[in-house]
Chains A and B, each alone.
Chain A
Amino acid sequence: DTAVSQTPKYLVTQMGNDKSIKCEQNLGHDTMYWYKQDSKKFLKIMFSYNNKELIINETVPNRFSPKSPDKAHLNLHINSLELGDSAVYFCASSQRANTQYFGPGTRLTVL
């Protein structure tokens, strides 16, 4: 009965590759997010979707493209991976401005 799930949990890949991370929430929330946590543990918003529409796109390179096929899913596709993309990526969801619930994170390592 996982509330917010992400796959894969770990992702190791070479520079220049394209990869995707999937996120699903079963809470019936209308808003989903992607956050990035860097090596210093700083957590920063990347994207926010409300009812499948992009609401916020922080200063993220356009190599990152979120896709929301429905309200329960928000996937993150990354093109031409770079060393600096190595981080932990967290998906989260909420119902409007209420409590945000986070997934377990995906640790991406770019070699």
Chain B
Amino acid sequence: GIQVEQSPPDLILQEGANSTLRCNFSDSVNNLQWFHQNPWGQLINLFYIPSGTKQNGRLSATTVATERYSLLYISSSQTTDSGVYFCAAPFSGNTPLVFGKGTRLSVIA
């Protein structure tokens, strides 16, 4: 099945800094999602991005499907951005998501 790897595993940022999180996947995908798990445990959808670039406020994501990676950019980070960021892709077609191990982000004031 597909392998999903994320880096870095941990990241500490000063408020206002920018960061890039990376997700590599071992096989071609027709679906890739980024999630934010907040400190209360909620899994929040950030992007559905099998290819191309999308932006939502201070967050943007780019997936280069041919090279099997996706990037999540966080600009002007805020303390509320803290939590764990997951990327996930299905093993094939219409199947459940395989999650990476996540990047734990701490933004300090």
Contacts and interface: CB of A to CB of B under 8 A. Distances in A.
A31 B30 CA distance: 17
A102 B43 CA distance: 6
Contact of A50 (B45, B94, B101): B94
Contacts of B98: 45
A26 interface: no
B102 A41 contact: yes
Interface residues of B, number: 24
Contacts of A100: 33, 45, 88, 96-97
A99 B99 CA distance: 14
Interface in B37-59: 37, 41-43, 45, 48
Interface residues of A, number: 24
A7 to B, nearest CB: 15
Contacts of B31: 97-99
Contacts of A102: 35, 43, 45
Given A41-B84, A41-B102, A105-B43, A35 B96 contact: yes
B66 interface: no
Interface of B: 30-31, 33, 35, 37, 41-43, 45, 48, 84, 86, 88, 90, 93-99, 101-102, 104
Given A31-B94, A35-B96, A101-B45, 15 more contacts: A41-B37, A42-B101, A45-B97, A45-B98, A48-B95, A88-B41, A97-B95, A99-B33, A100-B96, A102-B35, A102-B43, A104-B41, A104-B42, A105-B43, A107-B41
17 contacts: A31-B94, A35-B97, A41-B84, A41-B104, A42-B99, A43-B99, A44-B99, A45-B96, A45-B97, A48-B95, A48-B96, A90-B43, A97-B93, A99-B48, A102-B45, A104-B41, A105-B43
Q: 10 tightest A-B contacts by CB?
A: A45-B96, A43-B99, A102-B43, A99-B48, A97-B94, A48-B96, A96-B94, A97-B31, A33-B96, A105-B41
